[in-house]
Amino acid sequence: MSIYNPLPILKGLWTTIKSVVEKPVTLQYPEQKRVMPQRFKGRHHLRRYDNGLEKCIGCALCAAACPADAIFVEASENTDEVRYSPGERYASTYEINMMRCIYCGYCEDACPTEAIQLGHDYEMAYTEKRNSIYTREILLDPPPEGQESTPRKVEPGVFNRSIPVMKDAE
């Protein structure tokens, strides 16, 4: 003969009653947007130096580190007449297939110049597959206020280091 134990049923009813009186956590999106945690990994950005030059030197370490094979990088040579980055090369083609990306952040960790960073933007929607491939032009941040965009014409020999001297290093 089994003995009936009402305790589990009462615990379940108590949980239900508590949830009825709690305040809902629904946001009225898109008018109200959720504040994302500091460590949230969202849309990718290609960063620039303070002088407006691109940080990406086209080394493709981010593409090698990507477990989903979502990044394609093709490098070209900088010249003294036309300069995109302070290094010898720059990424002439930089594409990320956002449908393949798993937002792991390995590309961010692999980059020696901290050119690629995952931001806090999470509003990425597309109706066609071709719009899910973010190109260099889409990913590249605008130049800082008062700086010209790349490519830039410079005097020969001005950039003789692969990584420029930073203000903090002085």
User: Is residue 61 in some structural domain?
Assistant: yes
pLDDT tens sequence across 30-69: 899 888 899 999 999 999 988 888 999 999 999 999 999 9
CATH of the domain at 65: 3.30.70.3270
Which domain, by its residues, includes 132?
44-153
Count of structural domains, the chain: 1
Q: Which one, of 149, 131, 127, lies nearest residue 46 by Cα?
A: 149
| pLDDT tens digits for range 63-120 | 999 999 999 999 999 887 888 988 889 999 999 999 999 999 999 999 999 999 999 9
Q: What is the number of H-type helices and E-type strands within the chain?
A: 4, 5
Contact 132, 97 (CB under 8 A): yes
CA atoms within 13 A on the CB side of 142: 3
Q: Which element (helix H / strand E) includes 117? A: strand 116-118
Look up tokens 């449908």; give the residue: 99
What's the predicted TM-score (pTM) here? Answer: 0.74
Domain assignment of residue 166, yes or no: no
